[in-house]
Amino acid sequence: MQKGVDGMGAVRRGSRLAWMGATALAAATAAVVACTAGTASASATASAGSVIAIGAANTVSASVSTPAAYTPPAGILSEGSSGAGVKSVQRRLAALKYDPGSIDGHFGANTEDAVWAFQEINHLKVTGVINAATKRALVHPRTYRANDPRQDATRVEVNQALEVLVLYKKGKISLISHVSTGGGYWYNCGGDSECQAITPNGNYTTTVFMPGWVTVPLGAMYNPVFFISTVYAIHGDTFVPVYPDSHGCVRVPMYIANFFHNLVSTPGTEVFVYGKAQWMK
């Protein structure tokens, strides 16, 4: 089993677990629980009955403090750049709740992940490069709009249309992260079974956190926070590309996974997954 491959539940031909078929979900849950028995208790259950329609309209503005005026640095910045200009961008991203890692003036992978998330939210081409369009957006950033006004003030939203995760604390955005969700491909998931890599839209609740690398039948994941029993999780991965690529989990960058579990309750934090995945467009 390789790190960098999540081992989550998937959609079997004829039973579409993505829409929470009870039989398929029970089977997938049993398989993973059997693998992880003794590691953690999954006494809490996910809410699988209230599925949000794909492509649901965004209706509520996120509460983010209006950022101070910002003057972007000169030149084009990208991974490998360094200096005061990079530090300026890192501070701006952090103020807007995109975590770039250390504010150290070095444009590394963590800063690039934050730039990806910022570009996704601002409907820019996702390049990871601080170019002219991205600089303009840093001066006048978009405000992310929540999906549903009835959601809890403290919650996680996963928008598959944008490939972002947004964490709300007391009604205010606390973190925005780039993610990679289910890639839509079919793969052999044991014996003669074929599974489709789909992250199911719906309203859920975190169930359990398992620290470190957790091995399941199809691979390994880092610091998973499960939100459907012990089947689907938000977890760290060494490969979180700009496109959907997971087996069905929500991958986040490793440095985000190092602290994400401290920002949510397990069990108990609501997780909302919605939006049409990029491969479905």
pLDDT, tens digit, 9 for 90 and up, residues 13-31:
333 333 333 333 443 443 3
Question: Does residue 27 lie in a domain region?
Answer: yes
Q: Which whole number is the average pLDDT over 159-184?
A: 96
The answer to whether residue 167 scores a pLDDT higher than 50 is yes
User: Does one domain contain both 133 and 151?
Assistant: no
DSSP codes of every residue in 110-128? HHHHHHHHHHHHTT----S
Domain of 132, CATH number, reads 1.10.101.10
Calpha distance 94→248 (Å, rounded): 29
Cα–chain-centroid distance for residue 260?
11
User: Does one domain contain both 197 and 266?
Assistant: yes
State pLDDT tens for residues 187-199: 888 788 888 999 9
Calpha distance 263→272 (Å, rounded): 16
pLDDT category of residue 6 using cuts at 50, 70 and 90:
low
Q: Of 111, 139, 167, at which residue does a domain stop?
A: 139
Question: Does residue 6 lie in a domain region?
Answer: no
User: Does one domain contain both 235 and 276?
Assistant: yes
Q: Of 94, 124, 139, at which residue does a domain stop?
A: 139
267 cis-preceded (ω within 30 degrees of 0): yes
Q: 178: which strand partners?
A: 164
Question: Does residue 87 lie in a domain region?
Answer: yes
User: Does one domain contain both 198 and 246?
Assistant: yes
The percent of residues in the chain predicted with pLDDT above 70, rounded, is 75
Where do the H-state alpha helices sit in the chain? 22-36, 84-95, 109-121, 132-139, 254-260
pLDDT category of residue 243 using cuts at 50, 70 and 90:
very high
**pLDDT, averaged across the chain:** 80
State pLDDT tens for residues 63-98: 444 567 899 999 999 999 999 999 999 999 999 999
pLDDT score recorded for residue 277: 84
Question: Does residue 258 lie in a domain region?
Answer: yes
User: Does one domain contain both 50 and 88?
Assistant: no
User: Does one domain contain both 163 and 187?
Assistant: yes
Q: Is the dihedral of CA 103, 105, 107, 108 positive or negative?
A: negative
Calpha distance 261→13 (Å, rounded): 33
Question: Does residue 5 lie in a domain region?
Answer: no
User: Does one domain contain both 235 and 163?
Assistant: yes
User: Does one domain contain both 125 and 245?
Assistant: no
Domain extent, residue 209, equals 11-57+146-280
Q: Of 93, 111, 139, at which residue does a domain stop?
A: 139
User: Does one domain contain both 135 and 150?
Assistant: no
β-strand 250-253 against 232-237: which pairing, if any?
parallel
Question: Does residue 4 lie in a domain region?
Answer: no
Question: Does residue 2 lie in a domain region?
Answer: no
User: Does one domain contain both 158 and 254?
Assistant: yes
As for how many domains the chain has, the answer is: 2
Please, what is the Cα angle at 111 between 105 and 117, to 5 degrees?
145
The answer to whether residue 43 scores a pLDDT higher than 70 is no
- Which of these, 274, 229, 196, lies nearest to 17 by C-alpha position? 196
Question: What would the two tokens of residue 60 be?
Answer: 């509520």
Domain of 236, CATH number, reads 2.40.440.10
User: Does one domain contain both 99 and 221?
Assistant: no
Secondary structure element (H or E) that encloses residue 259, with its range: helix 254-260
Do residues 169 and 84 make contact, with C-beta atoms less than 8 angstroms apart?
no
Calpha distance 52→46 (Å, rounded): 15
Torsion angle defined by CA atoms of residues 118, 123, 127 and 133, in that order, rounded to the nearest 10 degrees: -90
Question: Does residue 3 lie in a domain region?
Answer: no
Angle between helices 84-95 and 109-121 (to 10 degrees): 50
Q: Which residue has the higher pLDDT, 43 or 130?
A: 130
β-strand 11-12 against 194-196: which pairing, if any?
antiparallel
User: Does one domain contain both 93 and 120?
Assistant: yes
State pLDDT tens for residues 98-152: 999 999 999 999 999 999 999 999 999 999 999 999 999 999 999 898 887 678 8
